[in-house]
Amino acid sequence: MREIVFDTETTGINPATGDRMVEIGCVELINRCPTGREYHAYFNPQRSMPSEAEAVHGLSTIFLSDKPLFGDKCDELIDFIGDAPLIAHNAGFDFGFLNAELQHCGRDPVCLSRMICTLVMARARHPGAKHSLDALCTRFGVDRTARVKHGALLDAQLLAQVYVELSGGRQIGLSLVADSSGEAARSPQPGASIAAGNRLFRAPRPHAPSAAEVDAHARFMAGIKEPIWATISAA
């Protein structure tokens, strides 16, 4: 299963009042494992960067002034995410900005049915705990020492690791048994049950030794000098 973990950086908190996306970072997962494929881009928001936002992500008006517009990179981004589910932390925020930028370009919005929110997952799994990305990295032992400021690609990379842990850990997608077609069989999800009528029963494998194995064992035993079991038997 292909999924995309993504994060955005913006000029503020509300696209409806003119705030724009200035950075996006995406990480591809296949069966909960990063493939190494990533997408990252900065965008010129065509407006100044508020000091409050710059303090969060460090992206200044000058830095972004020579970056492409979102519309110039839109096709690349759409091709990368494809029709995969999209995972984000506080996903409503990131989806709001992504769809606002798509709307500016005259493109269809991403359907909210594709949205997976790790904040919702974390609250359900650990109610009452802290659920920021930093807190979840600490909880799951994800190294975040490189995170001095918010950055879309770095945060997506960290979130990908957190999402795997929130989903049950890497072993949830581990498949060691091949089916008749040669493909790896999926392991049942936690809590899944298998009806008795659907169980595959296999004939027991023979475990009896062959005549040659019995003879080789007898000759080996006969060559042992003063075996301890002989003393036990005599006692």
The pLDDT score that the predictor gives to residue 39 is: 97
pLDDT given at position 97: 97
In a domain, 210, yes or no: no
Tens-of-pLDDT digits for all 235 residues of the chain? 999 999 999 999 999 999 999 999 999 999 999 999 999 999 999 999 999 999 999 999 999 999 999 999 999 999 999 999 999 999 999 999 999 999 999 999 999 999 999 999 999 999 999 999 999 999 999 988 877 778 899 999 999 999 999 998 765 444 444 444 444 444 444 444 444 456 666 677 777 788 888 888 888 888 888 887 777 755 5
Cβ 58 vs Cβ 41: under 8 Å:
no
- Tokens 């091709």 sit on residue: 79
Annotation says 150 is catalytic: yes
| Number of domains present in the structure of the chain | 1
Residue 67 falls within a domain, yes or no? yes
- 186 within domain boundaries: no
Q: Is residue 51 part of a domain?
A: yes
What is the chain's length?
235
Is the residue at 199 inside a domain? no
Domain that holds residue 21: 2-173
Phi, psi of 224, deg, nearest 5: -85, 125
Q: Which of 57, 126, 150, 207 is catalytic?
A: 150
Residue 135 sits in a domain whose CATH number is: 3.30.420.10
Q: Are 118 and 163 in contact (CB under 8 A)?
A: yes
The answer to whether residue 139 sits within a structural domain is yes
Phi, psi of 3 (to 5 degrees): -135, 155
Residue 183 covered by a domain: no
Residue 137 is assigned to a structural domain of this protein: yes
- This prediction's pTM: 0.70
